A and B are shown apart, each in its own frame.
Chain A
Amino acid sequence: MSTDGFDQTFAEVFEDIFGWGVEVGDDDGPATVEGWDSLAQIRLVHELETRFAVRLPDSALLEEQTVGSLKALVRAHGE
């Protein structure tokens, strides 16, 4: 997947979970994105796994993540 396609899919997943117009950078996380709580993170991980056809480790579900750390996890567990 091209970098553009990768980022585009990420942005779609975030919109799906957090609603319209949410714009996030790699440093954003639960502290800066309204509604990013433990339930939202589970849905986020599930949606990323479905869209990118990857399986992320349990730490992705449980530990505090940022947009950047989730991107790194998807890249490391993809292909």
Chain B
Amino acid sequence: MESEPTQLRFGPAEVEAFARASGDRNPLHLDPEFAVDTAFGGPVVHGALVAMAMLGVLPDEALTRVQSVRVLFPAPVRVGERLEVSSLSSDRGWEVRATLRGKVAVRVLARAEPQPAREHPPAIADATAGARPEPAAPDPARLRPGFRIGGEYELSPGLATLAQGYGAGALNPALLAGLAWSSYVVGMEIPGRHSLFAGVTLSLGAQLEPSGFSVTVREHDERTGQVVLAGSVAACQATIECFALPATRRPEPAALLPREPPDRSRGEVLVVGCSRGFGAALALALLARGYDVHGTYRSSPRRASALTALAGELPAPAGRLTLTRCDAADPAALAALAEGRERDGAPRLAGLVLNAALPPLGMGLTADAGPDLAQYVAQSVSLAAVPLGAMLGQLDEQGGFVLVCSSAAVSAPPREWPHYVAAKAALEGLGRWVAASRPTLRTVIVRLPKMDTAMTATPSGRLGAASADAVAAWTAEQLSGAELTSPLAMLEPKLEAVPA
């Protein structure tokens, strides 16, 4: 029997309340600047909170019968996103699904019978844990099969209040505790700081750990970071599936140096979207070749100051770095930037790098997701069209360049990124227009390969990814050399993948 769909949405206050109630204070949920520097591009709602609210759509007489719950998190739910929730009951139990962006984001399977527990491996190392205020830093020893932690897990009264608020108050408190606790384990203990919660199976059992918890690493796959944990808290047994994610890499100045000595007469390049990933590496590679760089960034002041420090490590005579915090899609901000350049007698504008982009989350193209796709494309195009409109008049006719950062995804579209492929193809169209209307400029469209940046800090992202430093150094060589002539060049660097 299928229910009428309902909607759910989680704002910062709900996320903070769950963080307090569960103890899962991972910065992916609470620190926007940390979250923007991940593949998710912004704060993510605790999966366990979504699952708890989804269980709340089931009638109380069903909830009181639930003995085991399996929750799967196929896609992240960002703070503020709206989910469609529907439920289905069958002879096996109750299934609740939450969809967004044309995909099932969370699936909850609840049954009136307990699940058979999986065997625990023998413990090889013990550590105490519980109520940790900061998430554990990445540590390979904590991912080794057999690694075991145990401790106290205080269940806060706030959790029961939250559950009641979502209509899930009739769920067995041990299952509720297990849900919150598994979020705490993944986000704070194993893997901790850089983690992704993929799923959990909870089942009521004997009171194994009357006043606390224990959890043991059962499997760890080094190719993808997948970790399987087995444990128990209060009267609840749990099997947790999660991923240890790669930390974001900093650019390496030594990998970005030019073949020829730097030339300080090249002028200035405006790099739009320069604080992280490819943009940061390219800014450094241009500085190393003698260009002055004026970079803009929107959301990562910590990354921006790290970039300033890295620029200081470049051998002299490197160019001068100026940074402006602004939203590249804000016309007033870009107009002010252009005016400021003219007023201050800034060096000649030798180039414009259009690199600002929105991290793509996987999408399924359904009729409902069509407007989401269109909005993503519009926002992506604004991040290039606004700076282009502001700066095109200042670009030097003698060898000035416009670099459009496209993606190899345009040549080989990934199934899950229809919005990304459409957005990058639109940027290429804009580049072709620049080449046709300003033929004395050098317009360069670069289809960037998969690189080891925040965008690919995902389970499969780093497999087959090239080094962002190597791609940036290669691109800067092309731009500073004499090979690229006007009006239009299409580049598709094929660089060797770095070992994951």
Which A residues contact B (CB, under 8 angstroms)? 17, 19-21, 30-31, 34-35, 37-43, 46, 50, 58, 61-62, 64
Contact = CB atoms under 8 A, between A and B. Distances in A.
A11 B199 CA distance: 19
Contacts of B221: 46
A21 B199 CA distance: 18
B463 A37 contact: no
Contact of B223 (A21, A31, A58): A58
Nearest to A62: B463
Given A37-B75, A37-B415, 11 more contacts: A19-B95, A20-B95, A37-B74, A37-B103, A37-B362, A38-B460, A39-B459, A42-B459, A43-B226, A58-B463, A62-B460
Nearest to B459: A42
A8 to B, nearest CB: 17
Contacts of B103: 35, 37
Interface in B382-430: 415-416
Interface of B: 72, 74-75, 90, 92, 95, 103-104, 107, 109, 198-199, 219, 221, 223-224, 226, 241, 362, 415-416, 458-460, 463-464
A39 B464 contact: no
Contact of B463 (A17, A20, A61, A64): A61
Contact of A40 (B74, B109, B226, B463): B74
B362 A19 contact: no
A32 B179 CA distance: 31
B227 to A, nearest CB: 10
A41 B362 CA distance: 14
A43 B241 contact: yes
- Nearest 7 A-B pairs (CB), nearest first? A38-B460, A42-B224, A42-B459, A46-B226, A37-B416, A62-B463, A19-B107
A64 B460 CA distance: 13
Contacts of B199: 43
Contacts of B464: 62
19 contacts: A20-B92, A20-B95, A20-B109, A34-B104, A35-B103, A37-B362, A37-B415, A38-B459, A39-B198, A39-B362, A39-B460, A42-B459, A42-B460, A43-B198, A43-B226, A43-B241, A61-B223, A61-B463, A62-B463
A64 B241 CA distance: 23
Contacts, number: 59
Contacts of A21: 90
A23 to B, nearest CB: 14
Contacts of B107: 19
A20 B74 CA distance: 15
B150 to A, nearest CB: 25
A58 B497 CA distance: 13
Contacts of B74: 35, 37, 39-40
Contacts of B224: 42, 46, 61
Contacts of A19: 72, 95, 107, 109
B392 to A, nearest CB: 38
Contact of A35 (B104, B415, B459): B104
A62 B464 CA distance: 9
Contacts of B72: 17, 19
A67 to B, nearest CB: 16
Contacts of A30: 415
Nearest to B224: A42
Nearest to A49: B221
Contacts of B219: 46, 50
Contacts of A42: 224, 226, 459-460
A26 B199 CA distance: 26
Contacts of A62: 460, 463-464
A46 B92 CA distance: 26
Contacts of A38: 362, 416, 458-460
A64 B103 CA distance: 18
B31 to A, nearest CB: 23
A61 to B, nearest CB: 6
Contacts of A61: 223-224, 460, 463
Q: Which of A30, A43, A58 has the most CB of B within 10 A?
A: A43
Nearest to A56: B223
A43 B224 CA distance: 9
A17 B73 CA distance: 10
A61 B459 CA distance: 10
Given A35-B104, A42-B226, A20 B90 contact: yes
A30 B90 CA distance: 26
